[in-house]
Amino acid sequence: MAAGHTLGNIVIAGGGLAGATAARTLRSEGYTGAIVLLGSELHHPYLRPPLSKEYLLGREEEDKVPVVPPGWYAENDVDLRLGATVTSIGPAERTVLLSDGTALSYTSLLLATGAAPRTIPLPGSELPGVSTFRTLDDSRRLRRKLERGGKNVVMVGSGWIGMELAAAAATYGNNVTLLGLEDIPLAGAIGPDLGRFFRSLHESHGVGFRLPASAREIVGKDGAVSGVVTDSGELIPADVVVLAMGVLPNTGLALTAGVEVDNGILTDASLRTSEPGIFAAGDVANALHPFTGKHYRSEHWSNALNGGKVAAKAMLGQDATLSTIPYFYTDQFDVSMEYSGFPDLAAGTDPVIRGSLERKEFIAFWQRDSRVVAGMSVNWPHQARPGAQKVIKALISGRTPVSADRLADGSAGLDQLLPEA
Ligand SMILES: Cc1cc2nc3c(=O)[nH]c(=O)nc-3n(C[C@H](O)[C@H](O)[C@H](O)COP(=O)(O)OP(=O)(O)OC[C@H]3O[C@@H](n4cnc5c(N)ncnc54)[C@H](O)[C@@H]3O)c2cc1C
């Protein structure tokens, strides 16, 4: 569709943050043609971060999770179809087929199908009380199980979601054990020292760890889960088991349609796939990042938000690229963490710390060739100006060399680190 054209028929497969944001952006950019937004779930598009935090903890209710108020779609003439699953795409005819047999034609198609929890063939994983975790329905069910406390809870997986769920379960007064394949939780993402920081945070709230350990079998009693057997043969009692072993991008539609896939749907920086008229955004997209010149698949909220915006503009023929520095956050117990940068570039380097891990108030900077490539702020005061994330992002985009001593020197203001300072 050429720039300035307002007619067309845009179909969005996937009613999550990326899909809904794309619909919203199409309208805010003045597109007046048809938009069909197709989502397999029965809920209006919603935000997932609260599901493992504020909502799960009962501090926020469901009215806080929609991406836009439910009435927005009809008010903006967006044909939102819930419970509608796309089963195949015909790139040559520019059509999609839905599970109820409906065929829709498109001028542009956005694949925003997200990701699904990774599963393994684990005996006993079908027992009541065992679940994966991704959706609002998963969070509703888990909240009901956890909120009275006193349960034995086992998390299989020590990544961000497993750690957040463990924190929520322990906050409710449950007895939580976390199993993970790494020696130190999160070490692959943020390195051993900061992984230990999160481990001791959890231990100080009573969470037990088995590391490295995997689940060999889940056992049951009276038709419900009763324990998890680890690879060392230990039986950990369990009333609730969550399998939080990461996610895999939902690439099935793209693969069968011949769209190029490699760890997600491959796109250029404007989120165009290998097939004309087909775009991809959010968790499912492995997009070329202009900063590194490499493909990067992010499983984070800001990528789905920004990707939805960029894909919408690109579908309208605008010159848009997804060039923002990747960002994500997590909240666990009394720790609020924000991270900006490129984990791949940071991997294997030791972070420089400004502040104090003991006081749980610090910034970790990762460098390559004296340039900051990632930074993580923990409980850094939000009222501080300039904000920690602003400085980290400016240092990364500026590519200016900065010494480790300057980064660590808390006696000078953060503003002194800004490239123009
Ligand atoms: C519990 C949880 C907590 C999180 N916390 C954080 C956080 O603190 N910080 C952060 O940065 N990120 C967080 N994330 C990640 C963030 O939520 C995701 O990156 C974001 O939701 C991705 O959005 P998306 O639209 O790409 O995909 P999704 O949210 O997965 O949405 C895709 C939708 O498409 C639907 N769909 C799939 N296939 C089809 C099909 N064939 N037809 C129709 N519909 C289909 C799916 O059912 C789904 O509803 C969290 C994720 C989870 C699960």
Sketch the domain layout of the chain as residue ranges: 9-115+248-315, 130-245, 334-417
Query: What separation in Å is there between the alpha carbon of 160 and the centre of ligand 1?
Result: 14
Question: What is 130-245's CATH number?
Answer: 3.50.50.60
Instruction: Say how many Å lie between the CA of residue 221 and the centre of ligand 1.
Output: 34
CATH value of 334-417 in 3.30.43.10, 3.30.390.30, 3.30.390.50, 3.30.70.1520: 3.30.390.30
| Alpha-carbon torsion, ordered 368, 373, 377, 381, to 10 deg | 110
Block residue for tokens 């920690």:
388
Residue 21 CA: nearest ligand 1 atom is: 25
Paired sense of beta strands 371-378 and 335-341, if any: antiparallel
Strand, helix or coil for residue 198:
helix
Distance from C-alpha of 356 to C-alpha of 364, rounded to nearest angstrom: 10
Number of the ligand 1 atom closest to the C-alpha atom of 45: 49
Within 6 A (CB) of ligand 1 lie 13-19, 38-41, 48-49, 51-52, 85-86, 112-115, 133-134, 161, 250, 253, 282-283, 299-302, 304, 328-330
Q: Which of 131, 286, 301 to mutate to test the pocket of ligand 1 (most atoms within 8 A of CB)?
A: 301
Residue 298, SS3 per DSSP: coil
The CATH superfamily of 9-115+248-315 is: FAD/NAD(P)-binding domain (3.50.50.60)
CA dihedral 200, 203, 204, 205 (to 10 degrees): 140
Q: How many CB atoms lie within 10 A of CB 5?
A: 13
Return the residue whose CA atom lies nearest to atom 35 of ligand 1.
Answer: 14
Q: How far apart are CA 281 and CA 322, in angstroms?
A: 10
For residue 328, give the ligand 1 atom closest to its CA: 11
Phi-psi region of 77 (alpha: psi -120 to 50; beta: other; left: phi over 0): left
Closest residue (by CA) to atom 27 of ligand 1?
114
- The pLDDT, as a whole number, for residue 89 is 98
Question: Rounded to the nearest whole angstrom, what is the distance from the C-alpha of residue 15 to the centroid of ligand 1?
Answer: 9
pTM of the complete model = 0.96
| pLDDT value of residue 282 | 98
User: What is the pLDDT at residue 421?
Assistant: 54
234 C-alpha to ligand 1 centroid (Å): 34
Q: Which of 37, 81, 113, 322 is the best mutation target for the ligand 1 pocket, counting ligand atoms within 8 Å of the beta carbon and taking the most?
A: 113
Element (H, E) at 253: helix 252-256
pLDDT in the model for residue 180: 96
Which ligand 1 atom sits closest to the C-alpha of 165? 1
**pLDDT attached to residue 5:** 45
* Cα 133 from Cα 118, distance rounded (Å): 10
Q: Please, are residues 244 and 160 in contact by the beta-carbon 8 Å criterion?
A: no
Q: Is the dihedral of CA 347, 349, 353, 357 positive or negative?
A: positive
Closest-CA residue, ligand 1 atom 30, reads 114
Residue 314 in 3-state DSSP? Answer: helix
Non-local CB neighbours of 420 within 8 Å, separated by 6+ positions: none
Residue of minimum CA distance from atom 26 in ligand 1: 282
DSSP string, 334-398: TEEEEEEE-HHHHTTSPPEEEEETTTTEEEEEEEETTEEEEEEEES--TTSSS-HHHHHHHHHHH
**What atom of ligand 1 comes closest to residue 51's alpha carbon?**
1
pLDDT value at residue 4: 41
Could you give the angle at the alpha carbon of 104 between the alpha carbons of 102 and 106, nearest 5°? 165
Domains 9-115+248-315 and 130-245 share a fold: yes
The per-residue pLDDT for range 60-91, each reduced to its tens digit, is 998 889 999 999 999 999 999 999 999 999 99
- Secondary structure of residue 307 in the 3-state scheme: helix
- Whole-number Å distance, alpha carbon 29 to ligand 1 midpoint, is 24
Flag residues of the chain having pLDDT under 70.
1-7, 419-421
Q: How distant, in Å, are the alpha carbons of 61, 69, 335 from that of 53?
A: 11, 21, 12
Residue 382 confidence (pLDDT) = 76
CA distance 93 to 209: 53
- For residue 300, report the distance from its CA to the centre of ligand 1, in Å: 8
